[in-house]
């Protein structure tokens, strides 16, 4: 049936081979995208790259001071994720679409902060975190994560309890 | 007291229903009308299913064994009430259909009934048998009730004996055996993959690498022990010389799945090795290789055992297998080409090296392209005219071409939506790369497939003008002869009720040649076929 092919078989095989080699070469040579550090996405990238490089203090530095509270580099290191990649999803403006805690009442034990005084995010950046397992096909899993950011002092700060979710445990220490 | 009265009432109602039905059946000449009896057999299957499981529950209540939770009153009430309702129906319809089978052995309802019973009770039997055998190998033992095994086995054996007494003879008479083969094969395959991938190969790997998991053989050994005899009994015993559509469909599908397993497992091993050669991997990187190897080896074994049944001659069964593999190869190629392009040009990756992803995508793409090229090149082995008019090739080019075209259209619509949304001031931040690349790759595939299809159709169009004609075929098993006539033919089939006169592929070609595009009457019996010209009005 080769006579009915619109393109000769050898040309198809050669073309596909060149395509694969070309794509693999380009993909291997390029690194992660470089985002504008003054943008919300740039702050998120800086935070995640710091985690990836185990620069815990650098990661803490982009968290809003009010949300960071008493948290130290050790607290972040304790939640260390061994190996991951992050893909940027959509970014949007608005307000947090969930219930806001407006007041804490003392039931027993210690007093807690009034969370209503903390600044809330106005920009939301979706990221897909991919945890990398070992070997072959299908040994990874993904986790959708949304970062909240607020614009203060010409800088986009990360607010809330960002992935990998550690400030709840140390902010009010 | 109230319960006893309710039970009595149900029994009276059931008795009245059966008496009325039996009385009506006696009044009319029931055995004289041929038919599929589909509804009657479906009712019988339902009644037999309820009765079988109720009986299993009843016997399990009588012999509870070491059950931790046991409520004999509730169990007894459930099983008895189900038996009281289903038992009379099962008994009546079994006798009725047995009598009708004697007169009309080619009833498709009997085949359908046996297939349903096979699917339900052999699966139930396998589940209980695996639990029982697994208990034997566990130190702590188990609490699986042997009584259910006895009841399910009895139901299966009872129907096996009935099927041997009056074998199904409809077009799809292979269906019950094919379903049994599938159940046995799936159980055996899972058992073998587990035995090798979680057990034996892990032992071997553990001797080399300290990070290996400890080997496990439960419940894989039990699945292998249970699945093997079922598969042997249903698949390896000799088949009738005339094999039907279920047999060939099953053989083609299993061959494709087995080869996909074999190639997929081998590709996974290849990816693991390539990642280790060119990437930065940890010491436990090869821990998955035992499972990948088991997957591939069991796949190859399954493929060898099923592929040879398709033979070497270029029949439509063999073509269906090859074009199905080609379709899988092309589909996987397009998918991973999109992934690789995203890795090469996408801007969404903001953290992490992607070398392992690239190596994975590149290796899978190369394997998938090789599969596609190998299986499409097989078409050159056949005579061009015959190949171009075969339904698997036409279906491959037209069907897959249309699917690819639809996906390409979806990609184009998404790309245009994002661009227009941005142009109109919307806040859309979605990347156009993925939809546009999907459009390009699937569009190219669709273009190639449809161009080949249209080119072959044009080449094969005959200069001969065929006027519409009518063919009447009298046969018990017409097969796919209707697809072999030109489109101008109007084919009418009169089914013989006696099971004689099956048409195989070779005879179908001879009949089409003998009819020679003229109005004809075709009579098929055990001596062959005869063609008589039909009068045109």
pLDDT tens for B191-223 read: 999 999 988 888 888 777 776 677 788 889 999
Residue B287 zone, left/alpha/beta (φ > 0; ψ -120 to 50; rest)? alpha
Reported confidence tier of residue B1, pLDDT bands at 50, 70, 90: very low
User: What's the helix, strand, coil split of chain B in %, to 5?
Assistant: 70, 5, 20
Q: How far is B379 from chain A (nearest CA, A)?
A: 7
User: Are the C-beta atoms of B179 and B218 separated by less than 8 Å?
Assistant: no
The residue that leads in pLDDT, B152 or A117, is B152
> Is A134 at the interface with chain B, CB within 8 A?
yes
Q: What percent of chain B has pLDDT over 70?
A: 87
| E strand intervals along B256-399 | 349-351
Q: Is the pLDDT of residue B188 over 70?
A: yes
Q: How far is B382 from chain A (nearest CA, A)?
A: 8
Q: Is the pLDDT of residue B18 over 80?
A: no
User: Are the C-beta atoms of B151 and B158 separated by less than 8 Å?
Assistant: no
Domain range A40-105+112-169, CATH class: alpha beta
> Nearest-CA residue of chain A relative to B427?
A92
Contact B350 A2 (CB under 8 A): no
Distance CA B41, CA B169 (A): 15
Q: Is the pLDDT of residue B128 over 90?
A: yes
Reported confidence tier of residue A139, pLDDT bands at 50, 70, 90: low
Distances (CA, A) of B280 to A53, A142, B284, B356, B513: 15, 20, 12, 8, 65
> Is B462 at the interface with chain A, CB within 8 A?
no
Q: Is the pLDDT of residue A171 over 60?
A: yes
Q: Which tokens is B518 given?
A: 């003229």
Distance CA B146, CA B143 (A): 9
Domain boundaries, chain B: 37-173, 469-533
Whats the size of chain B, residue-wise? 537
Nearest by CB: B380 against A2, A93, A134 = A2
Region B301-319 average pLDDT: 92
Domain boundaries, chain A: 40-105+112-169
Q: Is the pLDDT of residue B515 over 80?
A: yes
Please name the residue ranges forming H helices in B349-499.
355-377, 384-388, 391-423, 433-460
The residue that leads in pLDDT, B367 or A169, is B367
pLDDT value at position B309?
92
Region A5-19 average pLDDT: 80
DSSP A65-102: HHHHTT--HHHHHHT--SSEEEEEEEEEES---S----
Provide, as residue numbers in chain A, all residues whose Cβ is less than 8 Å from the Cβ of B387. Answer: 1
Q: Is the pLDDT of residue B231 over 90?
A: yes
The residue that leads in pLDDT, B320 or B172, is B320
Provide, as residue numbers in chain B, all residues whose Cβ is less than 8 Å from the Cβ of A30. Answer: 344
- State the SS3 of B214-235: CCCCCCHHHHHHHHHHHHHHHH
Mean of the per-residue pLDDT values of chain B: 85
Region B342-362 average pLDDT: 83
> Is A94 at the interface with chain B, CB within 8 A?
no
Reported confidence tier of residue A97, pLDDT bands at 50, 70, 90: low
CA-based torsion, B2, B8, B11, B15: positive or negative: negative
Q: Is the pLDDT of residue B3 over 50?
A: no
> Is B57 at the interface with chain A, CB within 8 A?
no
pLDDT tens for B137-172 read: 877 666 667 889 999 999 999 999 999 988 888 778
Distance CA B189, CA B298 (A): 7
pLDDT value at position B352?
74
B118 secondary structure, DSSP code: I
User: What dihedral angle (degrees, nearest 10) is formed by the CA atoms of A102, A108, A111, A116?
Assistant: -10
pLDDT tens for B393-440 read: 999 999 999 999 999 999 999 999 999 988 888 766 678 899 999 999
């Amino acid at each position: 049936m080769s006579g009915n092919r619109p393109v000769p078989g050898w040309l198809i095989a050669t073309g596909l081979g060149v395509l694969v080699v070309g794509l693999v070469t380009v993909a291997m040579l390029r690194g992660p995208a470089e985002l504008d550090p003054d943008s919300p996405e740039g702050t998120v990238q800086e935070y995640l790259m710091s985690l990836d490089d185990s620069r815990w203090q650098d990661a803490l530095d982009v968290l809003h001071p009010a949300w960071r509270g008493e948290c130290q580099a050790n607290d972040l290191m304790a939640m260390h994720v061994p190996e991951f990649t992050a893909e940027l999803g959509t970014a949007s403006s608005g307000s947090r679409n969930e219930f806001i805690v407006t007041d804490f009442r003392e039931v027993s034990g210690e007093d807690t902060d009034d969370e209503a005084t903390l600044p809330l995010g106005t920009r939301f950046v979706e990221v897909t975190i991919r945890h990398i397992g070992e070997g072959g096909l299908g040994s990874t899993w993904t986790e959708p994560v949304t970062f909240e950011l607020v614009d203060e002092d010409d800088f986009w700060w990360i607010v809330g309890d960002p992935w990998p979710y550690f400030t709840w445990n140390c902010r009010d220490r | 007291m109230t319960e006893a009265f309710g039970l009595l009432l149900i029994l009276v109602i059931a008795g009245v229903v059966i008496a009325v039905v039996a009385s009506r059946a006696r009044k009319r000449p029931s055995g004289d009308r041929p038919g599929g009896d589909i509804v009657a057999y479906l009712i019988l299957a339902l009644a037999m299913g309820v009765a079988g499981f109720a009986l299993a529950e009843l016997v399990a209540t009588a012999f509870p064994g070491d059950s931790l939770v046991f409520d004999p009153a509730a169990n007894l009430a459930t099983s008895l009430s189900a038996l009281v309702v289903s038992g009379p129906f099962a008994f009546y319809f079994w006798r009725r259909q047995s009598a009708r089978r004697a007169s009309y052995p080619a009833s498709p309802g009997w085949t359908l009934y046996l297939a349903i019973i096979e699917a339900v009770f052999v699966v139930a039997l396998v589940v209980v048998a695996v639990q029982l055998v697994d208990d034997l190998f566990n130190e702590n033992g188990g609490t699986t009730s042997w009584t259910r095994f006895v009841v399910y086995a009895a139901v299966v054996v009872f129907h096996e004996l009935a099927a041997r007494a009056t074998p199904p003879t409809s077009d799809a008479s292979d269906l019950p055996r094919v379903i049994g083969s599938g159940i046995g094969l799936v159980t055996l395959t899972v058992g073998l993959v587990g035995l090798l991938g979680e057990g034996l190969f892990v032992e071997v790997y553990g001797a080399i690498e300290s990070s290996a998991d400890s080997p496990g053989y439960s419940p894989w050994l039990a699945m292998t022990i249970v699945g093997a005899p079922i598969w042997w009994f249903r698949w390896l015993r000799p088949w009738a010389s005339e094999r039907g559509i279920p047999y060939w469909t099953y053989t083609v599908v299993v061959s494709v799945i087995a080869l996909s397993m074999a190639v997929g497992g081998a590709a996974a091993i290849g990816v693991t090795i390539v990642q280790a050669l060119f990437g930065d991997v940890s010491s436990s990187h090869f821990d998955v290789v035992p499972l990948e190897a088991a997957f591939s080896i069991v796949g190859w074994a399954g493929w060898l055992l099923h592929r040879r049944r398709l033979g070497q001659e270029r029949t439509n069964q063999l073509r269906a297998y090859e074009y199905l593999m080609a379709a899988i190869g092309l589909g996987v190629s397009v998918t991973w080409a999109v992934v690789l392009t995203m890795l090469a040009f996408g801007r969404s990756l903001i953290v992490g090296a992607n070398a392992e992803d690239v190596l994975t995508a590149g290796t899978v793409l190369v394997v998938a392209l090789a599969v596609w090229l190998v299986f499409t090149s097989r078409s050159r082995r056949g005579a061009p005219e015959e190949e171009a008019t075969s339904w698997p090739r036409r279906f491959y080019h037209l069907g897959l071409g249309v699917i690819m075209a639809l996906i390409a259209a979806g990609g184009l619509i998404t790309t245009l939506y994002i661009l227009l949304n941005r142009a109109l001031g919307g806040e859309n931040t979605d990347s156009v790369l993925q939809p546009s690349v999907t459009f390009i790759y699937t569009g190219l595939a669709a273009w190639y497939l449809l161009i080949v299809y249209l080119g072959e159709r044009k080449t094969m169009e005959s200069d001969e003008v065929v006027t519409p004609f009518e063919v009447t075929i009298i046969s018990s098993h017409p097969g796919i002869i209707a697809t072999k006539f030109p489109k101008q033919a109007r084919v009418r089939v009169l089914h013989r009720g006696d099971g004689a006169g099956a048409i195989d592929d070779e005879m179908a070609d001879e009949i089409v040649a003998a009819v020679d595009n003229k109005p004809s009457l075709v009579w098929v019996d055990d001596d062959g076929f005869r063609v008589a010209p039909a009068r045109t009005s």
